[in-house]
Amino acid sequence: MATDVKSHPLVVSVSPHVRDEESIAKIMWTVNFALLPAFIMSVYYFGPRAVYVTGLCILTAVLSEHLFQKGLNRKITSTDGSAFLTGLLLGMNLPPSVPFYIPIVGSLVAVVITKMLFGGLGYNIFNPALVGRAFLLISWPKLMTIWSTPTAQFLAMDAKTTATPLGILKEEGAVKLMEVFGDKMSLYSHLLLGNRAGSIGETSAIALLIGAAILIYKKYITWHIPFSFLGTVAVAAWIFGGKGGLFTGDPVIHLLSGGLMLGAFFMATDYVTCPTIKKGQIIFGIGCGAITMLIRLKGGFPEGVMFAILLMNCFAPLIDRGVAPKMFGAVKKKEEKK
Amino acid sequence: MSKVATFERGIHPKYNKELSSGKSITPAKLPQRVVIPLSQHIGAPAKCEVKIGDEVKKGQVIGSPAGFVSSPVHSSISGKVIAIADFPTAVGRLVPSVVIESDGKDEAVSFKENPNYMNLSADEIKAAIKDAGIVGMGGAAFPTNVKLSPPKEKPIDTVILNGAECEPYLTADHRLMVERPKDVVEGLKIIMRSLGVNKGYIGIEENKPDAIAAIKSAASGESSIEVHTLEIKYPQGAEKMLIKAIKNREVPSKGLPMDVGVVVQNIGTAIAIYEAVRFGKPLIERVVTVTGRGIKEPRNMMVRVGTLLSDVIDQCGGLVEGAVKVISGGPMMGFAQWTLDVPVTKGTSGILVLSEEEYVSSEEYFACIRCGRCVDVCPMGLNPSMLSILIEKGHYEEAKDYNLYDCFECGSCAYVCPAKRPMVQFMRLAKSQVKP
């Protein structure tokens, strides 16, 4: 008989019986792919060192997750693209000139301490790549702030060092910055393309925006965090960023320099460490923007994106508790109680 | 152009309705044997009124209601009672059931006809509906006469017929609206009369243009009936979502549609009501969509209550090689079957057979990465992510603070979850551990 169940063992599981095609691995690999344009630009400007440093980060991240899970007899998830992404992001956040033990140590801190010891993907409180970078910056402050001049010549290994635009802005002011880059338009175009000193993958704003557009189109990220983050930075830079008093700052310089684009689109939006509720994400973005500008304008570092995101990571669960989604039928229930 | 109404959030699964949406309703073969559960409805199981060896006719009462929220059960064929015992049903419980072997004659008891049914009083209508054993045929199977008898302090001003049929694959209501639109409208008028309501709506999703046209033309002379086109979105057919879409009223948390003056009925139920009040016909058969890529010939069939799933599946050419899952109901809220020897009941809207290519294995799941997709789709505005994390850790009481009991298990959160978490399972587990 056609309906003989013995020849057709049936699967029994709870509803729903259909699911859409998204998966953690698909999301993670898409984010990795979206970082490709920025990575290509970094190789163009910083040469093979960009590949070596980032490659070491990725290799260490994937390998350490794999060995950790294997050693503890846990489910192996090292191929889901998440460890790869942590490595890639950390690599893109390092100066191109760091010695090779730096990416290895950073990746170990990011994956083993920040992610695996907290329970693995989904349980970490802080963005792993950023903790890795923060650890490196605090442990090797000198090595982590030596910036190579972009050469745009693939094999030019005699990388000269220079200061980042934000470094110049902090130490010597906007006038000096204009002198270095010529005029305002030239400065902007250098910042947009990525022809400036900085971390490997943070310099090309336009390449990062292309990647961000892919993620927004795929609905993997929404506007809430990046736009509130960037918006806050722009407004704060305009109001407080100028030497000539309030409302004289240049928001464009602040938007396009440092790790802001990379941070706002690719790291503050990390699902695990940002709020789940959209309203909360706006608060989170504003917080990130405010802390970033506080550090850039008043703090001891020229750049504040990393610490801003890490600090706001702490508040993500709290924010989620405060901004529950609007429940269906909730308003009328309250009225009834009265 | 009528406006397209909807609710907030929700999902857009693949509908796959084309497998059966063009197939006219055809009668199933007279079953040789039926297993009729005495509890096919929410409420007290019916009291058995027959014993082994009794001869019964089609439409004869074999179980009488055992309380206010209960419903009579009728024989769906003529023949002899050969067993009365507990049998498994499609929702996975053992239920006392009456097994009747057909005598092949299909003789019916005489039904009490009412040609002037629109002159009946509300109480007479409700009595006819109760005697016919009518329950909600969308799946929940709540006794209809009880739903039509709201308490005095909850005045009803609106009746909505649910023609959304938002579950993927299912086309039973769709075919009924296309083939019997007049009966649908008459059913709605009877429901409105029983409640003393003069405003009726029929909501139909946009993907059924032929049904919308048929119902609109059938209702064209009725000034009190409005046909609304609904956006194609799951779970548009959930009562609360439907009321929001059509009347922009929000049923309060933990409340019922009657709290906002609305009664919602299913399309199949409306036709059953018409047949019961007009012809005195009890609910002994229903339209079942037999579909999915795991069945050879998808069809819409008129099936006698008590017919075994295996019997129905055989009439549709049987299972294809590689059929892996048989579901009673739709893919979003239906029940997976471990055996095909369970009967079609009053609430069985479909038999869905998924093939290997359609079936998504979800045995392995991961930790919540808090991507928030579930929050973005939950029609009730809950935080399924947080609920699932709390429940996973056994914090059931705290899950209540996150409005666990407002979840009606539509499965939208599980559908979109990239970590493939068994969200509905979590919710049911927690609900079994803490009282509302």
Q: pLDDT tens digits for B173-199?
A: 999 999 999 999 999 999 999 999 999
Dump pLDDT digits (tens) for A97-135: 999 999 999 999 999 999 999 999 999 999 999 999 999
Residues near B100 by Cβ (< 8 Å), separated by ≥ 6? B33, B34, B36, B56, B62, B75, B76, B77, B79, B80, B81, B82, B306
The angle formed by the CA atoms of residues A147, A150 and A153, to the nearest 5 degrees, is 140
CB atoms B337 and A122 under 8 Å: no
Q: Which residue has the tokens 């206010």?
A: B68
Mean pLDDT computed over A145-151: 86
In chain B, positions 370-429, which contact chain A (CB-CB < 8 Å)? 370-373, 375-376, 378-383, 385-386, 402-403, 406, 409, 411, 414-420, 422, 424-425, 428
pLDDT above 80: residue A155: no
Band of residue A338 on the pLDDT scale cut at 50, 70, 90: very low
Distance CA A151, CA B21 (A): 64
pLDDT above 90: residue A5: no
Band of residue B143 on the pLDDT scale cut at 50, 70, 90: very high
Band of residue A162 on the pLDDT scale cut at 50, 70, 90: confident
Pairing of strands B350-355, B285-291: parallel
Distance CA A8, CA A331 (A): 50
Distance CA B329, CA B289 (A): 9
Q: Is A59 exposed, middle or buried (0-12, 13-18, 19+ CB in 10 A)?
A: middle
Predicted TM-score of the model (pTM): 0.92
Q: What is the pLDDT of residue A245?
A: 85
Dump pLDDT digits (tens) for B160-175: 999 999 999 999 999 9
Q: Which residue type sits at A316?
A: A
The number of C-beta contacts closer than 8 angstroms across A and B is: 186
Distance CA B35, CA B84 (A): 9
B270 within 8 A of B134, measured Cβ to Cβ: no
> What is the rounded average pLDDT for all residues in chain A?
90
Number of H helices, E strands in chain B: 13, 18
Distance CA B373, CA B419 (A): 11
**Chain A interface, best mutation among B11, B341, B342, B370, by max A CB count within 10 A:** B370
Q: What is the pLDDT of residue A337?
A: 43
CB atoms A15 and B411 under 8 Å: yes
Tokens of B420: 């493939």
**Chain A interface, best mutation among B321, B366, B387, by max A CB count within 10 A:** B366
Q: Which residue type sits at A57?
A: C
Dump pLDDT digits (tens) for A9-36: 788 888 999 999 899 999 999 999 999 9
Q: Which of B204, B208, B212, B207 is nearest to B230 (CA)?
A: B204
Q: What b-and-e string marks burial along B35-58, b requiring 16 or more CB atoms within 10 Å of the CB? A: bbbbbbbbbbbbebbbeeebebbb
Q: What is the pLDDT of residue B18?
A: 93
Pairing of strands B200-205, B158-163: parallel
**pLDDT > 70 in chain B, percent:** 99
Residues near B46 by Cβ (< 8 Å), separated by ≥ 6? B38, B39, B63, B64, B65, B66, B70, B71, B72, B73
Residue B324 half-sphere exposure toward CB, CA atoms < 13 A: 12
pLDDT above 90: residue B424: yes
**Helix B267-279 / helix B172-179 crossing angle, nearest 10 deg:** 50
B175 within 8 A of B168, measured Cβ to Cβ: no
pLDDT above 60: residue B8: yes
Dump pLDDT digits (tens) for A231-268: 999 999 999 988 888 898 899 999 999 999 999 999 99
Q: Which of A114, A87, A115 is nearest to A103 (CA)?
A: A87
Q: Which residue of A has its CA nearest to B312?
A: A3
Distance CA A261, CA A204 (A): 9
B297 to chain A, any CB pair closer than 8 A? The answer is no
Band of residue A150 on the pLDDT scale cut at 50, 70, 90: confident
In chain B, positions 302-341, which contact chain A (CB-CB < 8 Å)? 310, 313-314, 317-319, 323-327, 331-340
Band of residue A177 on the pLDDT scale cut at 50, 70, 90: confident
pLDDT above 60: residue A168: yes
In chain B, positions 144-203, which contact chain A (CB-CB < 8 Å)? 168
Identity of the residue in B253, B386, B409 whose CB atom sits nearest the CB atom of A327: B253
Q: Which residue of B has its CA nearest to A2?
A: B318
Dump pLDDT digits (tens) for B326-360: 999 999 999 999 999 999 999 999 999 999 888 77
pLDDT above 90: residue B79: yes
Reply yes or no: is the peptide bond before residue A48 cis, omega within 30 of 0.
no
Residues near B384 by Cβ (< 8 Å), separated by ≥ 6? B374, B375, B378, B407, B413, B423, B427
Mean pLDDT computed over B307-321: 94
**pLDDT > 90 in chain A, percent:** 69
For residue B163, what are the β-bridge partners? B204
Mean pLDDT computed over B76-105: 94
Tokens of B200: 């009726």
Mean pLDDT computed over A136-143: 95
Mean pLDDT computed over A27-54: 94
Mean pLDDT computed over B220-249: 94
Q: Which of A16, A25, A282 is nearest to B11 (CA)?
A: A16
Dump pLDDT digits (tens) for A266-290: 999 999 999 999 999 999 999 999 9
